[in-house]
A and B are shown apart, each in its own frame.
Chain A
């Protein structure tokens, strides 16, 4: 089983989510190999989980003013502000991973934990879907399984600006905004807070973590995957009916 590794590239939020879905469809039909992909977000963006309420989670006015794109993911989980971070996705037939969902999170998050280990950080998996360093969250992950295909994507925080994050995400009570920011600062960390490494070092470590023990080729998205993704951008990910469905 040869894997494909798609090196880091930046796209807007809509195309990023559409690529993950387009590749998933083609992995399911056997047209594409199991794929590991690293990516960033061209303009800063917020992604919300499949089940989240857009209006309850996101300050739409502040996002508009700041030029921050908002996209709903196909995966559950929480809202994420994508700024200085690396996102990964791993897309493969379900049978390559444990049937038990938490066990599969543990396995895939293990690749990120190994990568952080290479950078000198002692990280641990916290079920359901988080990775912690020194008890603070450094990575969030979300998985879906459709058509016999497992897609897991997740983010590794490189640098984090909690104040900016809370200016874009809704706070249930404005009076406790400051408290929430200081509490989030205690609960969240980033690669840069833990180690003096640059983005290239992190990417190299992630590539090692995800490809260890696998035969793989560095590859690109196919024309078919890209064309499918562009269609999905228009038919789903840019649509208010999708992003505002909850």
Chain B
């Protein structure tokens, strides 16, 4: 990521939807607990859906700030995982 940050997404799909997700890395997010809300908000989503919008609205609801990674980065990694492990 820009700024040299690492972002990892472990994701499991079931019937084309996100079933389990864990976002890890050395980025920053204030408040930190918002990460669990972001993960929760993505459950049931299709990877081709507007994941970035869902993440942005979760961030906005918590007035949270994500630094060193972007909603687009998370969306991109989830879609990449989908193509690697169908």
Interface, chain A (partner B; CB < 8 A): 49-53, 56, 74-79, 101-102, 127-129, 142-146, 246
Contacts and interface: CB of A to CB of B under 8 A. Distances in A.
Contacts of A76: 26-29, 32, 67-68
Contacts of A78: 6, 26
Contacts of B24: 51-53, 56, 246
Contact of B65 (A56, A77, A101, A146): A101
B35 interface: yes
19 contacts: A50-B32, A51-B25, A51-B32, A51-B35, A53-B24, A75-B28, A75-B32, A76-B68, A78-B26, A101-B30, A102-B67, A128-B3, A128-B5, A128-B28, A128-B68, A143-B28, A144-B31, A144-B32, A246-B22
Contacts of A127: 3
Interface in B39-75: 65, 67-68
A230 B74 CA distance: 37
Contact of A145 (B8, B22, B31, B68): B31
B21 to A, nearest CB: 12
Contact of B67 (A74, A79, A128): A128
Contacts of B8: 53, 56
B3 A52 contact: no
**Looking at chain B, what size class is its interface with the partner chain?**
10 to 19
Main secondary structure of the interface of A (DSSP, over half): loop
Interface of B: 3, 5-6, 8, 22-32, 35, 65, 67-68
Contacts of A74: 32
B27 A51 contact: yes
Nearest 3 pairs of A and B residues by beta carbon: A78-B26, A76-B28, A53-B24
A51 B35 CA distance: 8
Contacts of A246: 22, 24
B68 A144 contact: no
A219 B52 CA distance: 47
Most interface-central of A50, A56, A79 (chain B CB within 10 A): A50
Contact of A146 (B3, B29, B31, B35): B31
A151 B38 CA distance: 23
B29 A51 contact: yes
A76 B31 CA distance: 10
Contacts of B29: 51, 76
A50 B67 CA distance: 13
B26 A77 contact: yes
Contacts of A75: 28, 32
A173 B47 CA distance: 29
Given A53-B24, A102-B67, 13 more contacts: A51-B26, A52-B25, A77-B26, A77-B28, A78-B6, A101-B28, A101-B65, A101-B67, A127-B3, A128-B68, A142-B28, A143-B28, A246-B22
B35 to A, nearest CB: 6
